[in-house]
A and B are shown apart, each in its own frame.
Chain A
């Protein structure tokens, strides 16, 4: 397989980088533009911006933050939150995004996946799935930051999204997100094993071992890390060294 990517996940609200627990109970971390540059200089492989209140336009909007970031950050930038149309995608690409992550709008109208893939290429269309364990087993896809049911089985939705043209899946475990209790490796494995496209695992990193678990048992193609980076709990260099020690291929900066 390709080198497993280590991605900084930055949840945005208004002008701020924030962090929550299970996508709720938010704390302000700081200015995302400053923090993005710090992560870039430390050797992050990619960055993901998710606007949790979905304010695409206007002053201090997501597009504005992306435009500032893209001036100084030369690694791939995925942007999501509130994107409803091909025109919204265009707005964010013009601001400097490389890939676009969409959840709610493609649940409501799956054809949007195909429209974005045909216009900008599959590599640009990231299917964002927020998955929560079902009481009877398996996982359901949610929207609105893990608050609203869709009735979709997360694994089936991942397969369908891939068939419609998604080039990558950003898979967030609502149960694990912000808990520091480890990734949902079963969830990541269940999806990564059945789709031909890369899966980015998000939610739950507390220790380096959690990261290694999701890379090996979970078969994640990339891990999105928020909390551990934002609170300076684990240096990026330590994550890379641990992966290489464990025989997992990651980029050597």
Chain B
């Protein structure tokens, strides 16, 4: 596999994502059509901004059902940042909004306070350490090959995508004690809350691992 199809649904900045995939040796195609989604070998849903705007962008282009059909067939897909949040069932950002429903869970606001009551800034911006969901162990999922627990990745987000089960969590991070799902997966549907395309060599390793994962 060498072609990655990135969904261009009118939101955010696709250029950094594209460049990082090309750097990792993949050819990148953009699509905004249902046919383009269904034909993809590997589908990427990027995105920044508000959940409602993101889902609207997909709905206006008639992409919601094709993406569900694609992913439910077990074909490989990666959501980044807002794109990961949209993989879940529902978000509480500016009211309640339905997501793609590919990974069970809810997207909720990050608390304005850490677990010890200290005020902190929202969005959660900057480098934070990736840890295994069971903090005492290393990473088990092969998509984290080459990444040691405690390595940092770059986050920018105000909402926390919370999957319903531990089995969907590949990596977490903690913001003043608040547990945040950093990488999730269900079968061949993956999500990264951080920006792998902006997370230096660690991010590039995770991109390579995920984009090659269905070959294993």
Tell me the minimal C-beta distance from A178 to chain B in angstroms. 26
User: Is B16 an interface residue when CB atoms closer than 8 A count as contact?
Assistant: yes
Q: Indicate whether A196 reaches chain B with its CB closer than 8 angstroms.
A: yes
Please pick, from B49, B125, B155, B198, the residue contacting A75 in the complex, using a CB distance under 8 A: B198
Task: Please give, as numbers and ranges, the residues of chain A lying within 8 Å of B198 by CB-CB distance.
Answer: 74-76, 98
A171 and B7 CA atoms in complex are apart in Å by: 36
Give B102-136 as 1s and 0s: 1 = Cβ < 8 Å from A's Cβ atoms: 00000000000000000011111111110000000
CA distance A239 to B122 in the complex (A): 26
Q: Is A40 in the interface zone, CB < 8 Å from B?
A: yes
Q: Which of A70, A98, A124 has the most CB of B within 10 A?
A: A98
Check: B3 CB closer than 8 A to any chain A CB: no
- How many B residues have CB within 8 A of the partner chain? 34
Q: How far is the CB of A15 from chain B (nearest CB, A)?
A: 22
Which B-chain residue is minimally distant from A123 (CB atoms)? B156
Nearest CB of chain A from residue B85's CB, rounded to whole Å: 13
CA of A251 to CA of B129 in the docked complex: distance in angstroms? 8
B163 within 8 A of A: no
Contact of B152 among A3, A40, A71, A72 (CB under 8 A): A3
Tell whether A70 pairs with B15 under 8 Å between CB atoms, given A76-B198, A123-B123, A167-B123: yes
- Segment 1-49 of B: residues with Cβ below 8 Å from A: 12-13, 15-16, 19-20, 23, 48-49
Supposing A2-B175, A3-B127 touch, asked if A221 and B199 sit within 8 A by C-beta, the answer is: no
User: Which residues of A lie under 8 Å from residue B19 when comparing CB positions?
Assistant: 70-71, 96
Q: How far is the CB of B215 from chain A (nearest CB, A)?
A: 23
Question: What per-residue 1/0 map shows which CB atoms of B196-214 lie under 8 Å from chain A?
Answer: 0111110110000000000
Residues of B within 8 A of A198 (CB): 121, 125-126
Flag if A120 contacts B13 (CB, 8 Å): yes
Count class of interface residues, chain A = 20 to 34
Q: Which of A98, A121, A168 contacts B16 (CB 8 A)?
A: A98
Residue contact B15 to A2, C-beta cutoff 8 Å: no
Q: How near does chain A come to B165, taking the closest CB pair, in angstroms?
A: 27
Contact A197 B12 (CB under 8 A): no
A124-B48, A252-B150 given as contacts; is B128 within 8 A of A3 (CB)? yes
- Is the CB–CB distance between A96 and B48 below 8 Å? no
Residues of A within 8 A of B48 (CB): 120-121, 123-124
A5 is an interface residue with CB less than 8 A from chain B: yes
User: Is A94's CB under 8 angstroms from B15's CB?
Assistant: yes
Enumerate chain B residues within 8 angstroms of A98, measured Cβ to Cβ. Answer: 13, 16, 198
Interface flag for A45 (CB, 8 Å): yes
22 contacts between A and B (CB under 8 A): A1-B120, A2-B128, A3-B152, A74-B23, A74-B200, A74-B201, A74-B204, A75-B154, A75-B200, A93-B15, A96-B19, A98-B13, A120-B12, A121-B49, A122-B123, A123-B156, A168-B125, A197-B121, A198-B121, A198-B126, A221-B126, A253-B200
Residues of A at the B interface (CB closer than 8 Å) are 1-5, 40, 43, 45, 70-72, 74-76, 93-96, 98, 120-124, 167-168, 196-198, 221-222, 251-253
